[in-house]
Amino acid sequence: MSDSKKLAIIATKGSLDWGYPPFILASTAAALGYEVEVFFTFYGLQLLKKKMDLQVSSLGNPGMPMPMPVPVLLQTLPGMQRMMTVMMKQKMKAKGVASLEDLRELCMEAEVRMIACQMTVDLFEMDTGEFIDGVEYAGAAAFFEFAGEADICLFI
Amino acid sequence: MSDSKKLAIIATKGSLDWGYPPFILASTAAALGYEVEVFFTFYGLQLLKKKMDLQVSSLGNPGMPMPMPVPVLLQTLPGMQRMMTVMMKQKMKAKGVASLEDLRELCMEAEVRMIACQMTVDLFEMDTGEFIDGVEYAGAAAFFEFAGEADICLFI
Amino acid sequence: MSDSKKLAIIATKGSLDWGYPPFILASTAAALGYEVEVFFTFYGLQLLKKKMDLQVSSLGNPGMPMPMPVPVLLQTLPGMQRMMTVMMKQKMKAKGVASLEDLRELCMEAEVRMIACQMTVDLFEMDTGEFIDGVEYAGAAAFFEFAGEADICLFI
A interface mutation test: which of B144, B145, B153, B154 has the most A CBs within 10 A?
A: B144
Amino acid identity, position C65: P
* Residue span of the structural domain in which A122 resides: 6-56+100-155
Nearest to B24 among C54, C55, C140 (CB): C140
CATH number of the domain bearing residue B26: 3.40.1260.10
Nearest to A152 among B16, B122, B147 (CB): B147
Tell me the DSSP string of B113-127: EEEEEHHHHHHTT--
Mean pLDDT estimate for chain B: 93
Q: How confident is the model at residue C71 (pLDDT cuts 50, 70, 90)?
A: confident
Nearest to C144 among B28, B60, B95 (CB): B28
How far A124 CA lies from chain B's nearest CA (Å)? Answer: 20
Residues 6+ apart with CB under 8 A from B136: B113, B114, B115, B116
Is C28's Cβ below 8 Å from some Cβ in B? no
**Is C64's CB within 8 Å of A12's CB?**
no
Model ipTM over 0.85: yes
Is A81 inside a domain boundary?
no
Distances (CA, A) of C6 to B12, B30, B111: 26, 22, 29
Predicted confidence (pLDDT) at residue A1 exceeds the cutoff of 60? no
C59 neighbourhood in chain A, CB within 8 Å: 57, 59-60
Is A5's Cβ below 8 Å from some Cβ in B? yes
Is A75 inside a domain boundary?
no
C65 neighbourhood in chain A, CB within 8 Å: 43, 46, 124, 126
For residue A16, which of A67, A79, A91, A77 has the smallest C-alpha distance? A91
Residues 6+ apart with CB under 8 A from C70: C58, C80
Is A109 inside a domain boundary?
yes
Is A120 inside a domain boundary?
yes
Give the mean pLDDT of A19-25: 97
Is C33 inside a domain boundary?
yes
Is C143 inside a domain boundary?
yes
How far B57 CA lies from chain A's nearest CA (Å)? Answer: 5
**pLDDT number for residue B2:** 58
Window from A105-114, B83-92, C61-70 with minimum mean pLDDT: C61-70
Is A81's Cβ below 8 Å from some Cβ in B? no
**Is C150's CB within 8 Å of B152's CB?**
yes
Predicted confidence (pLDDT) at residue A6 exceeds the cutoff of 80? yes
Distances (CA, A) of A108 to A52, A117, B84, C3, C153: 16, 18, 44, 36, 26
Residue C138's beta-bridge partner residues?
C117
**pLDDT number for residue B72:** 85
Residue B116's beta-bridge partner residues?
B40, B137
Tell me the DSSP string of C49-92: BSS-------TT-TTS--SS---HHHHTSTTHHHHHHHHHHHHH
Strand, coil or helix: what is A88?
helix
User: B47-105 pLDDT, tens per residue?
Assistant: 999 999 899 988 888 888 877 778 888 888 888 888 889 989 999 999 999 999 999 99
Predicted confidence (pLDDT) at residue C1 exceeds the cutoff of 60? no
Q: How confident is the model at residue A36 (pLDDT cuts 50, 70, 90)?
A: very high
Is B150 inside a domain boundary?
yes
B155 neighbourhood in chain A, CB within 8 Å: 21, 154-156
User: A138-148 pLDDT, tens per residue?
Assistant: 999 999 999 99
Give the span between the Cα atoms of A14 and A12, in whole angstroms.
7
* Number of domains chain B contains: 1
Is C68 inside a domain boundary?
no
